[in-house]
Amino acid sequence: MTESSEAKIWHEIASPFCGIASDDLTIKVEGNTVTVEENGDAVTKKGFETPITDLQPRINGEQVSLEQAVNHAAELLTQSKQPVIGGLATDVNGLRAAMALADKSRATVDSMDSDSAFRNILVLQDTGWMVTTLTEVRNRVDLLVVVGSDIEVDYPRFFERMVWNKESMFDQDIASRQVVYLGKAPSGDASTSPAGKKAQVLTCDDADLPEVVSVLRALVNGKQIQAEQVGGIAVADLAKLAEQLKQAAYSVITWASGSMTFDHAETSIQVLCEMIKELNAETRSNGLPLGGKDGSTSVYNVSSWQSGFPMRTSFNRGFPDYDPYLSDSKKMLANGEVDVLVWVSSFNVSRTPPESTTPTVVIGRSGMTFNQEPEVFIPVGVPGIDHAGRTFRGDSSVAVPLRKLRDSGLPSTFDVLSAIELAMPN
């Protein structure tokens, strides 16, 4: 731990806390105090500025050495018949260590954001999709349709960086870009253009969204609709949107699956994705699934390349066994199927494990507090603050490097999980 009071300024720092992973942050570090000086927002400020509290691991609330905590966790996993390694909010190397440990301890891996992620992954695995990435959006979008999501809450800088940027490299008139909300209305003004042009908003209840997107797809395909209203939206307005989509040169339809919490939202996402494929018969159109906060895009990437399958994969039988329903760790915990939970959460102190009677090991960001003290708590550093690392942006094509900004002495998730793996007998 450095006691130096001399401030150090870092430029072009990437944020691992939000899915768009803005990497233009200026950060000031004095000792262990971190301040976002430029380009911060509510998500990144909380992410970078949450102070360190604990440095010492605990077993049942008593301070112990790191080695004691690691050995205790290894012993729990060695005795366990059905462990879960969950949470999985960490950087790529932390995830690599988690996968190696899961393989050895025959655990099931799951992510704290799986419910949201699977609304997309199930579509990818069933019919696929046509999607684009942030830089393409920034330079090409002429019509942005935001479906079922109030995206500025979780992605505060999305519009500033991807829609109302100063210029496009293809000489597009940025002011002419159109934004349409379908479903939820925006909670703020991020989507309003610099000249004051407000987004068009077609609101409906979440429960009506499946019907609304189905009608929109039918209209894109030239089908006649008898009804005049669907979910409170005039069919004439949807017909106009369908026409806008067909006329656009590069429309982008975006959704944040985390906000689509109604049952089987994946089927609505699938309808949108099939509509996008159909639009591409004549013009260009793409989806942009927004997600990936706290490293969740890294989870399915690392899990897929190391095992072939995304999270919700069990190693209980000695090989990867993928089941997005049976291996839902929340259900497994609620059903009493888990005898040890290892909860990995190195980004956000408020993302603690679900309450349960299951013996729990938390590999968590220093500063985390618990209603229910876990059997083992090992405070770890934050990737991109306490140690270097890499995280995937929500659009998955770009992995950004994370820098070590301070010397807190906290171990990394990789260090701790690798030590636990090493401490387990072969």
The residue within the footprint of other proteins, chosen from 155, 181, 255, 300 (CB under 8 A), is: 300
- 104 burial type by CB count under 10 A (0-12 exposed, 13-18 middle, 19+ buried): middle
- Rounded to the nearest whole angstrom, what is the least distance from the CB of residue 309 to other proteins in the complex? 6
365 binds other proteins (CB under 8 A): no
| Cα→Cα distances 170→167, 189, 254, 419, Å | 9, 26, 22, 51
Asked if 316 touches other proteins (CB under 8 A), the answer is no
**Which residues, numbered 250-289, are part of the site for other proteins (CB under 8 A)?**
250, 277, 280, 283-284, 286
Q: According to the binding rule CB under 8 A, does residue 93 interact with other proteins?
A: yes
HSE at residue 244, side-chain half, CA atoms within 13 A, is: 20
Tokens read off for 38: 């430029």
Q: Is 247 in the site for other proteins (CB under 8 A)?
A: no
CA–CA dist 89, 86 (Å, integer): 9
Among 3, 5, 6, 169, binds other proteins (CB under 8 A): 169
From candidates 35, 68, 192, 304, binder to other proteins by CB under 8 A? 304
Question: What is the Cα–Cα distance from 373 to 380, expressed in whole angstroms?
Answer: 16
67, 167, 205, 355: residue in contact with other proteins (rule CB under 8 A): 167
Distances (CA, A) of 82 to 77, 316, 364: 9, 7, 21
For other proteins, the closer of residues 255 and 377 by Cβ is 255
CA distances from 288 to 135, 259, 326, 384 (A): 11, 14, 28, 25
Place of tokens 């012993």: 75
- The vertex-234 CA angle with 232 and 237, nearest 5°, equals 130
Cβ closer to other proteins: 32 or 306?
Answer: 306
Q: Do 33 and 22 form a contact (C-beta atoms < 8 A)?
A: no
The residues in 323-352 that bind other proteins, with binding defined as CB under 8 A, are none
Binding other proteins (rule: CB under 8 A), the pick from 2, 23, 211, 225 is 23
The only residue of 58, 72, 140, 387 in contact with other proteins, by rule CB under 8 A: 140
322 lines the binding site for other proteins (CB under 8 A):
yes
| Token pair belonging to 224 | 């006649």
CB of residue 93 vs other proteins: minimum separation in angstroms?
7
- Residues of span 94-113 touching other proteins by CB under 8 A: 96, 100, 103-104
Nearer to other proteins, 192 or 316 (CB): 316
Q: What is the CA radius of gyration of the chain?
A: 23
Q: How far apart are CA 291 and CA 119, in angstroms?
A: 11
Q: Interacting stretch for other proteins, rule CB under 8 A, among 210-218, 237-245, 313-321, 366-374? A: 313-321
Nearer to other proteins, 45 or 390 (CB): 390
What are the beta bridge partners of residue 361?
A: 342, 376
Q: Is 88 helix (H, G, I), strand (E, B) or coil?
A: strand
Is 374 a residue that touches other proteins (CB under 8 A)? no
Supply the DSSP string of 373-423, one letter for each residue.
--SEEEEEPPBTTTB-EEEE-TTSS-EEEE-------PPPHHHHHHHHHHH
Stretch that binds other proteins, among 61-69, 92-100, 178-186, 365-373 (CB under 8 A): 92-100
Find the binder of other proteins among 161, 184, 365, 387 (CB under 8 A).
Answer: 161
Among 26, 78, 82, 135, binds other proteins (CB under 8 A): 135
Applying CB under 8 A, among 5, 6, 170, 335 the residue interacting with other proteins is 170
Q: List interacting residues with other proteins (CB under 8 A).
A: 12, 14, 20, 22-24, 92-93, 96, 100, 103-104, 121, 124-136, 138-140, 161-162, 166-170, 249-250, 277, 280, 283-284, 286, 300-301, 304-310, 315, 317-322, 390, 392, 396-401, 414, 426
